[in-house]
């Protein structure tokens, strides 16, 4: 497979985890920043390889082969992110772009050795689960902070938005994976939240809260 085919396959997989069946070519085009016609051509190539099923007006679905292939790409990406943070001391807002390059290395042996070297991590630095070598991926019980009621105590377990600006903003707030958070109040006007962290109280917008995954204490 080409790098471009792998990237498309990974995007279709990620869209399928939130959109269900029948991913539209327009949705893929928006993520890939490509023309719908170009997406249709690529989807047809993936269909010819048995990686997706595609019918016009019904959208794109991964085949079993396609889902497994996508999961192996995701597996490599997230393992490399762990390596970059834990062993090379990259910050969590720096690793995505580098891992995007490393995920295309073809060696299964290298991936398995990397997994073993890292002591078989189950989550990447952003809290996303890492598929195992058989394509099994753990389901994480989590909710968005914006969905949590006032007075509840939770722990930060992941981010919906892994863009550098968002992660850098969380660093300024001193919110990281494992941070304890108590919801003190919620403004009816804009749904902004006042949070009690381990060391201080902060106010965050609803947009921030809608991109932060948490679980109950």
Domains and CATH numbers, the chain: 3-62 (1.10.10.10), 143-216 (2.30.30.90)
Average pLDDT in the chain: 94
Assign 17 a pLDDT band (cuts: 50, 70, 90): confident
Share of the chain above pLDDT 70, in %: 100
pTM: 0.88
How many Å apart are CA 179 and CA 201, to the nearest integer? 13
Task: Assess whether pLDDT exceeds 90 at residue 138.
Answer: no
Q: Which residues pair with 161 in a beta bridge?
A: none
How many Å apart are CA 175 and CA 193, to the nearest integer? 14
Look at residue 21 and give its three-state secondary structure.
coil
Task: Assess whether pLDDT exceeds 90 at residue 117.
Answer: yes
How many Å apart are CA 68 and CA 207, to the nearest integer? 33
pLDDT tens for residues 34-50? 998 999 999 999 999 99
């Amino acid at each position: 497979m080409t790098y471009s085919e792998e990237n498309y396959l990974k995007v279709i997989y990620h869209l399928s985890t939130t959109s269900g069946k029948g991913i539209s070519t327009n949705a893929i085009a928006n993520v890939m920043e490509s023309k719908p016609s170009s997406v249709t051509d690529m989807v047809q190539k993936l269909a010819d390889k048995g990686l997706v099923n595609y019918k016009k007006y019904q959208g794109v679905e991964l085949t079993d082969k396609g889902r497994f292939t996508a999961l192996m790409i995701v597996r490599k990406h997230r393992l490399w992110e762990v390596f970059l943070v834990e062993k090379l001391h990259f910050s969590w807002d720096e690793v995505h772009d580098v891992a995007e390059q490393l995920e295309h290395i073809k060696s299964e042996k290298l991936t398995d050795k990397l997994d073993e070297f890292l002591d078989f991590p189950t989550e990447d630095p952003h809290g996303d689960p890492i598929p195992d070598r058989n394509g099994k991926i753990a389901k994480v019980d989590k909710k968005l902070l914006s969905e949590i009621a006032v007075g509840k105590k939770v722990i930060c377990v992941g981010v919906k938005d892994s863009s550098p600006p968002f992660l850098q903003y969380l660093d300024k707030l001193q919110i990281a994976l494992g941070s304890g958070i108590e919801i003190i109040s919620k403004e009816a006007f804009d749904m902004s939240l006042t949070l009690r962290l381990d060391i201080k109280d902060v106010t965050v917008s609803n947009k921030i809260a809608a991109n932060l995954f948490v679980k109950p204490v």
